[in-house]
Amino acid sequence: MTDKEQFKVRDEPFYQAQGREVALYEAAYAARLPVMVKGPTGCGKSRFIEYMAWKLERPLITVACNEDMTASDLVGRYLLEANGTRWLDGPLTTAARIGAICYLDEVVEARQDTTVVIHPLTDHRRTLPLDKKGELLRAHADFQLVISYNPGYQSLMKDLKQSTKQRFTAFEFDYPDAALEIAILASESGIDAATAAQLVSIGAAARRLKGHGLDEGVSTRLLVYAATLIKGGVAPVDACRMALVRPITDDRDIRDTLDHAIDATFT
């Protein structure tokens, strides 16, 4: 299996478009423009990129960014072996070599001195300096860089520099409207539309508490989890408490408020 083949998305991911994002992404990819995807946790950012990689028939290399990630984790490093040293490409370098879409998920979690290494790949140069190896890698013609982050978690310590932001085109995602979210839940879990609608109404109630005790509302991902539990035979009230309430808050008052909403919906 070639490097490209092992990173291909083989099966069509389920994705319901919210607007013109599919056509707009295709235009960005045709021009090989870097893309930034912004939106709250669990609203479908990663699924969208996976779907677009499948639709465009491009390899996809995803990196889950974290605060401990170093530039070497992205670019590569020398490994010490019995017969000497061997260079191992990092995921960013691999993507640039083979012409994959490189998706840096929640890039704001990475240290700012790490994200600087992507800059030469996001302008007319489309190059990646491998200083430790003494190589200037010119990106494959099919390479594209995509990043995502959640603006709701911005702070002085965790935000992208303007010098990074202004290298990207951008999409802004939000949770789907009620009708679309109901369709997503029904398709992803197999539950009936009426139950999906009840779950969506609970999700809407939780999202109204954002900024009033909750940092984030209930994501579409968590609604799918609840729907999956219900489809598997778990009582709706138990499924909702397990998937929609306990993961997002430890505050007793908020928890009781959401539990009452669940009771009112399913009893």
Alpha carbon distance 210, 174 (integer Å): 14
> Is 146 found in the same domain as 14?
yes
Q: How far apart are alpha carbons 88 and 94 in whole angstroms?
A: 9
pLDDT band at 98 (very low <50, low <70, confident <90, very high): very high
Same domain, 90 and 19: yes
Q: For the residues 190-195, what does the mean pLDDT come to?
A: 96
Last-in-domain residue among 172, 203, 223: 172
Cα-based distances in Å from 182 to 196, 217, 247: 5, 17, 21
Q: Are residues 186 and 136 in the same domain?
A: no
> What sign has the CA pseudo-torsion 32, 33, 34, 35?
negative
φ, ψ of residue 125 in degrees (nearest 5)? -70, -40
Residues 85-91: what's their mean pLDDT? 93
36 DSSP β-pair partners: 147, 170
- Answer yes or no: do 162 and 198 share one domain: no
Average pLDDT, the chain: 92
Which of 172, 201, 229 delimits the end of a domain?
A: 172
Least confident window among 49-53, 83-87, 232-236: 83-87
Instruction: Verify that 101 and 184 share a domain, yes or no.
Output: no
Helix (H) / strand (E) element for 88: namely strand 84-89
* Total of domains in the chain: 2
Residues 68, 13: one domain?
yes
Residues 121 and 135 in one domain: yes
pLDDT recorded at residue 119? 94
Grouping H, G, I as helix, E, B as strand and the rest as coil, residue 127 is strand
Q: Could you tell me if 70 and 122 lie in one domain?
A: yes
pTM, two decimal places: 0.90
Could you tell me if 137 and 262 lie in one domain? no
First vs last C-alpha separation in the chain? 54
**pLDDT for 82 beyond 50:** yes
Please name every residue paired with 214 in a beta bridge, in sequence order, or none if there are none: 210
- Would you state the pLDDT for residue 1? 52
Domain boundary among 146, 172, 198: 172
Q: Which residue has the higher pLDDT, 112 or 32?
A: 32
Mean pLDDT of 11-32: 95
Predicted confidence band of residue 217 (pLDDT cuts 50, 70, 90): confident
Q: What is the pLDDT of residue 109?
A: 87
Over residues 52-79, mean pLDDT: 94
Asked whether residue 245 falls in the same domain as residue 262, the answer is: yes
The listed range with the strongest mean pLDDT (90-104, 107-121, 204-218) is 90-104
Residue 223 pLDDT > 80 = yes
41, 166: one domain:
yes
Residue of 265, 252, 174 lying closest to 213 (CA atoms)? 252
**pLDDT tens column, 124-164:** 999 999 998 999 999 999 999 999 988 876 554 567 888 88
For residue 266, is pLDDT > 60?
yes
Token pair listed for 114: 């790490």
CATH of the domain at 58: 3.40.50.300
pLDDT at 176: 92
Looking from the CA of 181 toward its CB, the CA atoms found within 13 Å total 26
What are residue 81's DSSP bridge partners? 84
pLDDT in the model for residue 267:
80
C-alpha span between 228 and 224 (Å, rounded): 6
d(CA 43, CA 178): 13
Contact 8, 59 (CB under 8 A): yes
Instruction: Give the pLDDT score at 161.
Output: 83
9 and 27 co-located in one domain: yes
pLDDT of residue 156: 44
For 57-70, what is the mean pLDDT? 94
The domain in which residue 147 lies consists of 3-172
Q: What is the dihedral of CA 208, 212, 215, 217, to 10 degrees?
A: -20
